[in-house]
Amino acid sequence: MELENRVAIVTGAAAGIGRAIVDRLARAGARLALVDRDAEGLARLAAALEGRRVDVLPLVADVAREEEMATAIREARTRFGQLDMVVNNAGVGVEKPLLDHDLDDFRRIFAVNLFGLFVALREAARIMIADGTRGAIVNVASVAGLRGSVGRAAYGPSKAAVINLTQVAAVELAPRGIRVNAVAPGPIATAMVQVMHRPETRAAWLRQVPQGRYGEPDDVAAAVVYLLGDGARFVTGHVLVVDGGFAAAGMLYDIAATAAAGSPADGRKGERGS
């Protein structure tokens, strides 16, 4: 198993893309520290993993709270005695017209998508450097962070900032043996996307994906595990797009127009993936 006995922390682990990442890491032999604010969902996931004889540590924490996130990182290092990999997956989103956004939308989304991610990255990197670990960090961004996306005035910029932070961290941490990359999912069949992509826009989204379908959480998980593994040992500062060709095709106007004219849809997923 490629990642046998390595220790990984995954935020937003209890559902969606996060859960798919956890499953892939478990199959690769990793020991797992799982962070989520959904205590019940986290407990169910941990029990299922223990039934598969996976060494797992569930950590209930809100990534938007700096001390909770920093404490979770330190607890994982204490429990396992090492820290090799971090997956910053937790995120929230909202889709509604620009003029319906307010600063609270920005504060809430940036607190999770960027600030919490930064705290996890910083604390993990400090531990890796102190331990002399050649670690790997993967941040879950979005194709919405690669270009303007109508209806996502707060979400898109938060993910663009994740991509920029990934590149900064990759350059600064490379001399210390730490790789930092990102994945940018497109339309993925998660609970959050089901809320953000309203029924009246869903057909237009599908027409814009050359592969003709929404991706599955495991599609993203496979990309994440690749970036964590030794096969990507010379890859850092990279953004791996996982979108069935969506970004390459460009956005259709009918999606944008429908989204801009539609009623607000708030897709909250707490710490449950992108």
pLDDT digits (tens, 9 = 90+) for 37-76: 999 999 999 999 999 999 999 999 999 999 999 999 999 9
Which of 102-106, 128-132, 195-199, 227-231 comes out lowest in average pLDDT? Answer: 195-199
SS3 271: strand
pLDDT (0 to 100) of residue 176? 98
The helix (H) or strand (E) run that includes residue 76 is helix 66-80
Cα–Cα–Cα angle for 69, 73, 75, rounded to 5 degrees:
110
- Is residue 15 within 8 A of residue 7, CB to CB? The reply is no
pLDDT digits (tens, 9 = 90+) for 77-95: 999 999 999 999 999 998 8
DSSP string, 124-147: HHHHHHHHT---EEEEE--GGGTS
Q: Predicted confidence band at 259 (pLDDT cuts at 50, 70, 90)?
A: low
Report, as residue numbers or ranges, the catalytic residues.
155
Structural domains of the chain, ranges and CATH numbers in brackets: 7-261 (3.40.50.720)
Residues in Cβ contact with 18 at an 8 Å cutoff, skipping those fewer than 6 apart:
10, 11, 12, 36, 87, 89, 90, 271, 272, 273
Of 183, 62, 55, the C-alpha closest to 111 is 62
Whole-model pTM: value is 0.90
pLDDT digits (tens, 9 = 90+) for 187-242: 898 877 766 667 767 777 788 888 988 899 999 999 999 999 999 999 999 999 99
pLDDT (0 to 100) of residue 266? 46
